[in-house]
Structure formats: structure tokens, C-alpha cells
Structure 1
Amino acid sequence: EWWANLVTASDWRDFWIHEGFQSFMDTLYLEEIAGKERYLAAMRGRAQATINLQPVAPREPKFSYEVYLLAPDYVRSNNDIYGKGAVVLHTLRYLIGDDAFFRALRRMSYPTKEMETFTDGRQARFVNTDDFLTIAERESMRELDWFFEVYLRQPKLPRLLVNRETPGMLSLKWETPDGLPFPMPVDVVANGKPMRVEMKDGKGSVKFSGTEPVIDPDGWILKAR
């Protein structure tokens, strides 16, 4: 339990830092031993299993049962703290790239290179979701508030709307709860070539001829089905 002992959530509302990070690392290990396709398939399976009824990292304080169980009766398990947390990290990896993402994970566990050498317990500490946001922004040199707001602070997933009305043109638009900003770029294979469509203001388009473009072919983006 690396994320539970070396890095400990400072409040129950941030316990996805234990469960989601650990679930991500489990699946990442699958990539190491079985290859990228197995990793991607496992993450697609996790994404399909999300419930999306409660925020993974709510802003308001919670008791432990409110985090691990589903309202209102708190009988059924809220598995999103595990699986959805893992897929959120998977999507963040896609967004900021492997170099920045894995640097962020390392700095989340060891804030400085010097701390990587400590063996007397000084490296263990309490953290919260905003700490990880700060680290991810610093390592990626990107503003990521919008990502954390949509995926962690509220439960519903963004939906990608696809318009095919104009011949030879695919128009894409993100639909989010309460109109939250969501400039998530989208990978598309069009005319036999992979490309990344930038989604400024949550909108983008692709010109194509012949075969219908394939959207998010590897399933990197956590989105409503």
C-alpha cells in the first residue's frame, strides 16, 4: 500500500488518493508485464464500470462511510473511488503526456529529489487533491482546474457530441454538467491518419474524405457512453 503509507490523504474526501492511485498503479503494472494494449483494454473496462453518482473528491468534508458507500442508504459500495479514480489518472496521462504525468506521480510521492533518498520516515506525509492539482500543473506547465472540476469535484461525466450533418466534416462538442469548461483534446483517425483535435471552448472539427473518422480509438478519455 504505497499510496496509503508513504502518501496519506489528509481527509476522507480525498481517499481516492489511496484507492484510485493504487488501482491505477495495478493497471499500469499490467502494461509493464503484458503490453500497452492490455493496459488500454483494462482501462476501458474500468471506464465502463463507473457509476458516476457521487464525486470522487468532493469539496465538503465526509465521513468514511460516505466515501466508500453510496447515498442515501449507504449500503452499496461506491467503487468509483477505485476504478473511476484510476481512469481519471489514465485520462490525465493522455492529456499531459507520459513525461509530465510520471514526473507528477513521483513528486506526489516525493516532493523533492532529496526526499527520494530518505529512509527514516521523513518522506511520509499528508496530502489532498489540491496538492496533486498543484503538482500536475507545475510538471505539465498547464492550467488543469477544469480537468479536476469535471472529473473529481462532481459526479457526472462529460459527453462528446458528434455532428455529421456537413458532408466531409465531423463537428465535435463537449457537453458538461452546468456548462463547465472542458477543453479536452480528442484523438481522431481520419483519412487513415491519427491526429489530435484541439477543442478550444470545448469545440472542434475534422475534415475527412471516404471512411468515417474513428474518435478516441484507444479509449483514453473518460466520457459518458
Structure 2
Amino acid sequence: MNRFVLLLLLVGFQASAQHFTRKDSLRGSLRTERTCFDVQRYDLNLRIDPGQRSIVGYNDISFKVIENTRRIQIDLFANMSVDSIVFGTQKLAYHREFDAVFIDFDHSLEKNTLQKIRFYYSGKPIVAARAPWDGGFVFSDDDGKPWIGVAVQGIGASLWYPVKDTQTDEPDQGASIKVAVPNGLMNVSNGRFLGSEDLNDGYTRWDWEVKNPINTYDITVNIADYVHLHDQHNGLDLDYYVLRRNEQKAKAHFEEVKPMMDCFQSKFGPYPFANDGYKLVETPYLGMEHQSAVAYGNRFLKGYMGNDLSGTGVGLLFDFITIHESGHEWFGNSITSADVADMWIHEGFTCYSESVFLECNFGKEKAYTYINGLKRNVDNDKPIIGQYGVCNEGSGDMYYKGALMLHTIRHIINDDQKWWKLILDFSNTFKHQIIVHQTVVDFFNAQTGLDLTPVFDQYLRHKNIPTFEWRIKSKKLEYRWVADVSNFDMPVDVIVNGKTVRLKPTTQWQRSAIKVRKKADVAVAVDRFFVNTAH
């Protein structure tokens, strides 16, 4: 994490902490106990008891010391027990405050040294009432056999394992996830399968290895009596783990992955976790973008559980969960926002990837129909960017409004070749990086030669979208923007007398040389620009 990212997060925290609790700031902000070390690797070794709905085990946390320190913060939900924390052969002292565990060393850890602690813990993790929206474990049933999953985006990975629970620090050298489950069940986690071992006590341990940096909320377990299906596409391993009764259905349904990979790799660059492989894992909840082990629970239906989010019919041409959650492999998993306040970077780009898939496979017209249909889901309730430093996401409009903002920027640029190069360059430039909002704005401005800052600010920092206001005066078209951003300016296309004209409105009234007889002769290209109109 660079100093610019740290400065932004600290400034955001100072500006907004008065609206939140101490618990929020412990989870969301960056203090010395967090910034003094950089996680290199997590090695989880757990036993999960489905009957008791409990976990027992440990996490080996390897880290590099960034600044001399005698104390670090690791996070674990307060309902989970800290059994002991071991450094070498020594048990360490610690104290807890809400979900934060402050660990004390008896001597200073020196800058640039590599260290490791083993954090033993146990307990019954929170069970989600409505995963993946509220977060937690899901304990379900498959013909009398346990079927278990976990989804913790937003609520935090520390719900179920000890971790530095912030998006600013991914384990640089990846992770291993070793999970013992009752015989007859399988656990599927992120990365590559290393093998299983019968522990001769009624449990079998399943070992997985992740080579790439990974968001902590992406680390996952999936427990069931799974069937494994293997395929390959252009050298990329495709693995599917589904319930036995769905084996044949899955073989046909998941063929959609191949054209998706072709499309996304052409537009966003190579699949970012090829050495960890790509997996879809059937889950008892709808879905989640768990890196290299995407959670799939859409019941092998097209659309969003058989429904079309756009209301146009086009959304039934693809499986929403497969496409959307896989899009996160590029946007969210590879490119990650440093603070959840900037989650639009994950969700806006990924929601846009749905229309990208449609354009690749069904043409631009259907893609445009779909993305414009998503307007009906925009609430304009509050800003998309949340409060920094307190683990606060902004409006759920980060999905649809975020995608429609990108659609609008595409038409501001008004050159598809330049647009697709911009998106490809963005994805490749920031691959496997943690970024902030300003990183995106600066990159888009530099690559396009345009000042898109007012556009990003209006759509992301304010709840309203801009309104293109126009009138006919003395048979001439007059127009302006009504927006929250002072001196807002953005080009827009208007169809006048059947011809498309590009206007460059500001917040001041302007008069064009275009002669207009009546209002019916004027139409704003709202299929290309997500704006309100008034006349």
C-alpha cells in the first residue's frame, strides 16, 4: 500500500469518524497497529463440525514489519474465542476491543524483518439470515447431507477467521486453506487442490493453495458431497463442483463460461488468476465472487434466478451469477479498492461487464437495450462513494448507476476503439493492485486527454444525475446542465430534425445555431447518456 492511499484513508477517517462508532473505526481505519506490518501469507488449518456449526483451528499469519513495533492488530469477531497466540515458542499477551485483537510482543519487531504468529481460535461463527446480503455462514442440507458455505463481503472475513480485515492489505504470497470435514463430504476452497488426507477420526482434510494475492473476504469454504467436473479452454483450467443430482445439468449449463472467457479476456485482458485456475462451486446461497472459486447458486437458470433485472427480456440470454460474479475476477479481485467506500470500482465495472458479455455474444443493440433497462433499478438515494475509514459503503446504486456512468463515458469519448483500449489498459495496468477512486479518475483523464473529473464527481459524489435542460427560443435551441457539481460540463448528443448533433453544454444557458420549429423535433440521446431531461 502506498503512502497516497494511506493519506486518503486517514484524511477520510478524520473527516467522518464523528458519525460512526469506535467499533466502526477499529475495523475501517488505518492506525499504527495496522500500518506497521504487511501481510505476506495466511495458512489456515481448520476443522469444521457441521452438527455443532463450529470451527476450531489456527491461522499462521506471516508478515513483513514495515515500522518497528511491539504491537499489531488482528481482527476476529468478538463471539469467536481466542485460544492462544504463539510467536515461536512463546505465548503472546493480547487484549480485545470489540472485534479487534491487539497483540503485544515482549520486544520490538525490527523494520524489514519477516515474522510469523500462529493464532489459535474456536467458536460458532455468525450464521447468515439471508446470504450473501447480510453475511455469515450458511448451513443447509442436500438430501440429508450437510451443505455449507460462507459469504462475508461487507461484514468482514474476521467473522470466521483471524485476519487483518482491511482491503488495503492482501497476502502478497497467497494463502493455503486446509479444512477437515466429516468423511463423505468435500471442502472446496480457493486456488489449486493439493490433496486430501483421512485423519482416521471420522474426518478428512482437504488442502488448497492460492498462489496470488487475495482479498480476505474472498477466502472461502464450500462443504458438500460434491461431484467434480473438469474442462479446459485455451489452456485455462475450468473446474466445477456441483451437487451430485446436478451433474448432467451443470455440464451443459456451464458451457457459457467459454464464450464468457473469450469475451472478458479480449476486453479486460488475460484471466488474472490462471495459475490458480477458475472454478464455479455450487452454493446454498445465490453467489459471491470468491477468487478462483466463484460461488454459484443460481439454480442453473438464465437471468437472475429466472428473472430479468433489466425488464427487457435481454437479461434472460445469460446466467447472471456466472457472468457477474466471474466479472469480479477482473474488477474486485484483481483490481481492488483500498476502502469499501470505493466499492463502486468493484461493482460499477462488474455490472458493466454484463453488457460487455452481451455485446460480445449478441451484438451492441441487445447490450444497449439491457444496460438502459437497468435504469429502472437506480434509486438516486445517496452518493455512491461512502465515508472513508469507517468501513462504510455508499449507495447500492454503485451497481447500475456505476455501470451507466461508464456507458455514458464511453459516449463522451465517442470512439469505440479508444474506449475498449482504455478499459483494457486500465485492467492490465492495475492488475493485482489495490487502488483508490482518484486512481481511476486520473487514469481515465490521462488516457483520454479529457477532464472527466466533473463527470465522476456528479455520478459518484452526489445522489442526483445531471439534468439536460433545453428550450426553444426564437426558433433556436437553447440548453444547459443542471447539476450539483459547480461548472459541470459534459458533451451530449441530441437528435434534431433527425440528425445527431453533439452539444457541449455548461451550467450556463447557451444558444445553438440550430433552427428548431417545435419540441417534437428534439430528442436527447438518453440511450447513450444517463441523464435526466427537462424542457
Q: 2:481 aligns with which of 166, 174, 177?
A: 174
SS at match of 1:3: coil
Percent of pairs identical after alignment? 25
- The answer as to 2:535 corresponding to 1:217 is no
- Taking the aligned partners of 1:222 and 1:61, their CA distance within structure 2 comes to 30
1:90 aligns with 2:407: yes
Question: Partner amino acid for 2:419?
Answer: F
1:154 to 459, 462, 472: 462
Provide structure 2 residue ranges, at least 5 long, that are not aligned to the other structure: 1-327
1:28-43 correspondence to structure 2 within 5 Å: 28-43=356-371
Q: Report 1 or 2 for greater relative contact order, CA contacts < 8 Å, sequence distance ≥ 6.
A: 1
Q: CA deviation at 1:167?
A: 4.2
Aligned with 1:137 (options 445, 449, 452): 445
Matched, 1:56 2:56: no
2:182 alignment partner in structure 1: none
* SS of match in other structure, 2:481: strand
Task: Report the alpha carbon displacement of residue 188 of structure 1 after superposing the two structures with TM.
Answer: 1.5
Structure 2 CA distance for aligned equivalents of residues 203 and 59 of structure 1: 34
- Name the Cα RMSD after superposition: 2.3
Please state whether the residue corresponding to 2:332 is helix, strand or coil: helix
Q: Give the number of the structure whose residues are more often helix, by fraction.
A: 1
- With over 3 angstroms needed to count, the CA separation of the structure-2 counterparts of 1:94 and 1:61, relative to structure 1, is farther
What TM-score does the superposition give when structure 2 sets the normalisation length? 0.35
TM superposition shift of 1:14? 0.9
The amino acid across from 2:357 in the alignment is Y
Shift in alpha-carbon separation, 1:209–1:153, aligned structure 2, 3 A: closer
Question: Matched residue of 2:397: which SS?
Answer: helix
Unpaired runs of 5+ residues, structure 1, are 69-77, 113-122
Letter paired with 1:67: E
| CA deviation profile, 1:88-141 (whole Å, cap 9, x unmatched) | 1111111123233323322322118xxxxxxxxxx4111121111111011101
- Asked if residue 7 in structure 1 is aligned to residue 323 in structure 2, the reply is no
- Cα distance in 1 for partners of 2:442, 2:461 equals 15
Q: Distance in 2 between matches of 1:55 and 1:145?
A: 16
Quote the offset at 1:59 in angstroms.
Answer: 5.9
Larger Rg: 2
Summarize the Cα distance change of 1:26–1:172 in structure 2 as closer, same or farther, 3 Å threshold. Answer: same
Tell me which of 176, 183, 199 is aligned to 2:489: 183
Q: 1:169 to 1:67 in 2, by over 3 A?
A: same
Q: Who is 1:99 aligned against?
A: 417
**CA–CA distance in structure 2, aligned partners of residues 95 and 130 of structure 1:** 19
- Shift in Å at residue 210 of structure 1? 5.1
Q: Distance in 2 between matches of 1:185 and 1:131?
A: 23
SS in 2 for 1:18: helix
For 2:477, what is the secondary structure of its paired residue?
strand
Give 1:203 deviation, angstroms: 4.2
Q: Which moved more, 1:50-59 or 1:146-155?
A: 50-59
Question: What is the CA–CA distance in structure 2 between the aligned matches of 1:36 and 1:203, rounded to whole Å?
Answer: 34
Report which stretch shifted further, 41-50 or 206-215.
Answer: 206-215
| More strand by percentage | 2
TM-score normalized by the length of structure 1: 0.79
Count of matched residue pairs? 202
Question: Compared with structure 1, are the counterparts of its residues 218 and 148 closer, same or farther at alpha carbon in structure 2 (3 Å cutoff)?
Answer: closer
Residues 120-175 of structure 1, C-alpha deviations (whole Å, 9 max, x = no match): xxx411112111111101110111211111111121111121212x2422211111
